[in-house]
Structure 1
Amino acid sequence: MYVQLKLVLDTDPSAAWRALRSPSVMRELYAPFLNVNAARAGSGTLWQNTADEIPLTLAGLVPLGRQLIELDYDETSHPGVKILRDTGSPLTGPLSALRGWNHRMAVSPTADDPGRTLFRDRLSFHGTAAGAYWYPLWVMWQWRGSRLRDMAPSWAFDPELQHEPDTQHP
């Protein structure tokens, strides 16, 4: 089974790529419903190809178990497309009944505006509980898409500066 999104984000592909690799963007993306332990979610400002086990909580109060985040980046297989793949999995908690966790996100410029990003996001999973989890994960993916659209404009690496009129005259 799978859930997926295909969105156009109001940010350039380089900014979107940096955001996908940012532990702080991931924490912000899921907040306030899902809390990713900030102390464990990546040691720097950008995740590298890594494996990291992090605790998750519902609203910071109810433990949801531990998630293995196992990242791999592909910036060369498809010209103009950068792909992040998380093949980690839920280790404990309610989602650990799912198997075959494969989360793939891709960014590329849109065809009509290279300053905007085509974002594709697909989570594949299976297991005995997959049917029961499909709808809740689909709802979460729709919410995730809405959050991505809202957050994307703030990801600009070099925001445009507004120039103030020159008030000094000789």
Structure 2
Amino acid sequence: MEDASAELERRSQYLTSLIQRARVRAEDDVEEKSGRLEAERQQGVDKKGTGDRGSREGAEETQDVRVRAADMPVALQERAFQCAREVLDSMPKLDNKRLALTLKKEFDSLYGPAWHCIVGRSFGSYVTHTLGGFLYFSIDKVYILLFRTAVKTLGH
């Protein structure tokens, strides 16, 4: 039994180190991309560098992002906003399930398991989340609830 306990502890430490490395990488990515976006805004060019806004009329700048409630580090919030914007920009018509799935998978892969995402224009919720793992925001008229729950290993 002690061997199993020691193995679980070793795996837990390994997963914790992976999550910390992923967080550092994600924070660096957010800082780098936000710096590039700011430079593009100052120069007045779009992502393609053509100078025209195209059919979306600078969608990234016109999308109204509002944080409704948050218990999440700012870097993770920025990553959620960025990911949501990218998915919304890629869809001609809103697909709530696709947006929710993409955000969930993105956060699961970057920050570890047990992220949940609810997307819609009208919904109620009451959830329990881990500390630092809750974000409720809107982009235009789409509301997004992203939260993390604790995962415990089963002791067999």
Alignment TM-score, normalising by the size of structure 1: 0.26
Give the structure with the higher percent strand: 1
Give the structure with the higher percent helix: 2
The structure showing larger relative contact order (alpha-carbon pairs under 8 Å, at least 6 residues apart) is 1
